[in-house]
Structure 1
Amino acid sequence: MRKLLSRWFIDGMSFMALGLFSSLIVGLILKTVGQYIGIFSTLTEIGELAMSLAGAAIGVAIAVGLKSPPLIIFSSVIVGHAAYLEGGVAGAYVTTIVVIEIARLYQKKTPIDILVSPFLTIVIGVYIGQFVGPYVSKFMTQIGEFINFATTQNPFLMGMLVAVVFGVVLTAPISSAGLAIMLDISGLAAGAAVIGCCCHMVGLAVTGYKDNGVSGLVSIGVGTSMLQVANIIRNPFIILPPTIASAIIAPIMAVFWPMENNSAGAGMGTSGLVGQIMAIEAMGPSVKTWILIAIFHIILPAVVTYILYRVLYAYRLIKDGDQKLNLGSE
Structure 2
Amino acid sequence: MKRKIKICSAILSVGMVASSFQMVNAAPNNTALQNQNAVYTSVESLSTAPANFRISQRSGLGCAFSWRWSGNTEDLYAIYRKPTGSTSEPVRVTEPTKENINVGAETLMGSYDFCVAIVDKDGNRISNYSEVSTVESYYDAPVHFNISQRSGLGCAFSWKWSGNTEDLYAIYRKPTGSTSEPVRVTEPTKDNTNVGAETLMGSYNFYVARVDANGNRISYYSEVSTVESYYDAPVHFNISQRSGLGCAFSWKWSGNTEDMYAIYRKPTGSTSEPVRVTEPTKENINVGAETLMGSYDFCVAIVDKDGNRISYYSNSATVESY
TM-score normalised by the chain length of structure 2: 0.25
1 or 2, which has the higher strand percentage? 2
1 or 2, which has the higher helix percentage? 1
TM-score normalised by the chain length of structure 1: 0.24
Higher relative contact order (CA 8 A, sep 6+): 1
